[in-house]
Amino acid sequence: MLENLENLTTEQKHEASRDLDRLSAREIVRLMNEEDKKVPFAVERQLDQIAKGVEVIVAALENEGRLFYVGAGTSGRLGILDASECPPTFGTSPEMVQALIAGGPSAMVRAVEGAEDSAELGRADMRAHGVTERDVVVGISASGRTPYVIGALQEAQAIGAKTISLSCNENALIDQGTDVAINIVVGPELLAGSTRLKSGTAQKMALNMLSTASMIRLGKVYGNLMVNVQGTNRKLQERVKRIIMEGTGVSYEEAEKLAGLADGDAKTAILMQLTGASKEEAKRLLKEAKGKIRKALEPFE
C-alpha cells in the first residue's frame, strides 16, 4: 500500500527549492510565502466537493448523528484542532464533533511509530467509539493512502455511516467508497515530503469550511454572530454582551441586563429583545425552531 511514493504529488521534489539549504533566511521565507499563495487557489478548485461534504455533515448532525475526524500525524492533529474549537465557538457538546488520531491522544504531541500503518487500528477505533449509521466520518490524509485512515473509513462504510475523504493527491486510495472525495492538490512541498506545509494549510482551510459552514447551516450563527458561544470565562462573557448588542442594537448596559436575564445565553437574550418574549417563551420558540433564531422570528415578521 505504501510503495511507489515517488508517484504522489505530495512526495515529489520541488525544483525551485533544490538549493534550499544555501538560501538566506529572507530567501527561504519568501519562497515559502510564494508557495503558500498557491493553496487558496487549490482549495477553490474543490469548493463544490467541500460544499457537498457540508451537506452530508449537516444531514447527519440534524439526525442526531456525530462528526468524526480521523487522521494520523499532522492530519490527525489538524482534525483534533478543528474538533476542539467547536464547543467554545458553537456551543456544541464534546460528543458532537470528535477527532481520532492514530496512536491515541499521546500522538498529539509525540509520534507513535507504526500506528498509522495499521488499518485494523483504524477499524478498532471506529468500533470503540460506537460509530453508527447516523454518523459521518471524515478521513484526513495528505498522501491519501494512510492505512489507519483507510481502515477507519472502510469500517465506517461497513457500519453504514456517511464518509468523506480529504487528501492532497488526485485519485487517492482513501477516496474509495466515500460519499464525498475532496482532493486539494497543492503540488510538491518546498521541503520534499513535508506535508505539514502546503498540504497542512490546505487541510486546515478545508476543515475550517466543513465545520464552520455546517454550524452556520445548523443555525448556530445569526447573521455573522457566534450566538452559540459559551460565556465560560470573562472574555467570552464580554463577547456574549457584544453579540447581544450587535444582534439587537441595544446599549452595553441593556445587553448586560439581557445576558443576566437569559442566564448568559446570547440566543435567548436576542430573541427576548426582538420579540418581547420572556426567557421561558424565548427558549420554547428556539426549541421549536431547532435553535435557529431566524426561524423563531418568522411569526413576528
What crossing angle do the helices spanning 47-62 and 198-217 adopt, rounded to 10°? 40
pLDDT of residue 2 exceeding 60, the answer is: no
Q: Which helix (H) or strand (E) holds 44?
A: helix 39-44
Band (114; pLDDT cuts 50, 70, 90): confident
When pLDDT is averaged across residues 119-140 and rounded to a whole number, the result is: 97
Nearest to 107 by CA among 66, 67, 148: 148
What's the pLDDT tens digit per position in 24-76?
Answer: 999 999 999 999 999 999 999 999 999 999 999 999 999 999 999 999 999 99
Task: Round to whole Å and give the CA distance between 136 and 49.
Answer: 15
pLDDT at 134: 98
Task: Round to whole Å and give the CA distance between 80 and 263.
Answer: 30
Band (108; pLDDT cuts 50, 70, 90): confident
Task: Round to whole Å and give the CA distance between 197 and 243.
Answer: 35
Task: Round to whole Å and give the CA distance between 73 and 196.
Answer: 9
Task: Round to whole Å and give the CA distance between 291 and 254.
Answer: 23
pLDDT over 90, % of the chain: 84
Question: Domains of the chain by range and CATH?
Answer: 5-217 (3.40.50.10490), 234-300 (1.10.8.1080)
SS3 135: coil
Average pLDDT score over the chain: 93
pLDDT of residue 158 exceeding 80, the answer is: yes
Question: What are the residue numbers of the active site?
Answer: 85, 116
pLDDT at 287: 94
Band (1; pLDDT cuts 50, 70, 90): very low
Residue-wise DSSP of 146-212: -HHHHHHHHHHHHHT-EEEEEESSTT-GGGTT-SEEEE----S-SSTT-TTTHHHHHHHHHHHHHHH
pLDDT at 3: 47
CA distances from 281 to 224, 248, 285 (A): 24, 18, 6
Q: What is the pTM of this model?
A: 0.91
Task: Round to whole Å and give the CA distance between 153 and 108.
Answer: 21
Band (4; pLDDT cuts 50, 70, 90): low
Task: Round to whole Å and give the CA distance between 269 and 222.
Answer: 13
pLDDT over 70, % of the chain: 94
